[in-house]
Amino acid sequence: MSSASRPPGEPGLLLRAVLALLLLAAAAGVALALVAGQVAPGLSGAVAAALPDSGASNPVTAVLLNFRGYDTLLEMAVLTAAVVGVWSLGPAPRIRETEPSPVLLGMNSVLIPLAPLICAYLLWAGSSRPGGAFQAGAVLAAAGVLFIISGRRPAVHLPAAPMSWGIVAGLGVFLAVALAVMPGGRELLEYPRGLAGALILLVETAATVSIALILAGLFIGGRPEDEP
């Protein structure tokens, strides 16, 4: 495409060429590091050695909730901040009150009751097998999304306040547990040995509920109507 026929504002050939050169240089650097670089031993040995005391037998869950608990604590803070950001932009756009298709309603009547079951399984399995709070929360949130796009309102009118409390519950419980283990000379988030499993399950349960509500709140796209 010549510059004469190019519509106004289209990026020029020069920009494309410079961008391509920069990207190729970055790719070459990373490829060199991957092929020629030293392979570090990694941390799987250290994680496996500390696993019996961590309160979870799935190493990924142990890393998420115990060894690198700070990450997950701050991640809950990021999620809460994101939903506060989205809600502060304005009220939720209305979902048009059209009659939803029977296919969606039929699917909902099968999938929505199944979701809490899958959620509970993923949450419980997370300590020893693949699964965990984030996956469980996402499954529950998916049920919420399906319910929202069906356009049906709950039979009981739910005020928005419990939703706000649920959204901060994950962060709040995590923070409370992190601080509550501190008496007795322990660091922040350093669970006592015998209690680690129970505390992780408590934190994960609160996080699951919060993540589900946060993801559903993000999907709504704004402040629920009766929220002050």
Partner 1 sequence: MSSALLYAGAGMGLLLVGVWALVLRAHLLRKVLAINVMGSGAFLLLVGAGAMGGGPVDPVPQAMVITGIVVSISATALALALVLRIAYATGKAALPEDRERDLMDREGR
Partner 2 sequence: MNPGLLFDAVLVTVLLWVAWAALASRDLFRGIVLFIAFGLVLSMGWVRLGAPDVALAEAAIGAGIAGALLLATWARLPGKTEERPGDDLEGQERDHEQR
For the record, the structure tokens of 226 come out as 């009766």
Asked whether position 151 contacts partner 1 by CB under 8 A, the answer is: no
Asked whether position 31 contacts partner 1 by CB under 8 A, the answer is: yes
Closest distance between partner 1 and the C-beta of residue 198, in Å? 21
- Rounded to 5 degrees, φ, ψ at 60 are -65, -40
Residue from 5, 41, 102, 185 binding partner 1 (CB under 8 A): 41
Q: Rounded distance, CA 169 to CA 163, Å?
A: 10
Name which of partner 1, partner 2, none residue 96 binds, using a CB cut-off of 5 to 8 Å depending on partner kind: partner 2
Cα angle value 115/119/124 (rounded, 5°): 150
- Which residues 195-224 are close enough to bind partner 1 by CB under 8 A? 211, 214-215, 218-219, 221-222
Asked whether position 86 contacts partner 1 by CB under 8 A, the answer is: yes
Q: How far is CA 207 from CA 24, 44, 72, 74, 107, in A?
A: 41, 26, 10, 12, 27
Q: Which is nearer to partner 1, 72 or 177 (CB)?
A: 72
Q: Rounded distance, CA 116 to CA 205, Å?
A: 12
User: Which residues in this chain contact partner 2 in the complex, by CB under 8 A?
Assistant: 58, 60-61, 93, 95-96, 98, 100-101, 104, 122, 130-132, 134-135, 138-139, 141-142, 145, 149, 151, 215, 218-219, 221
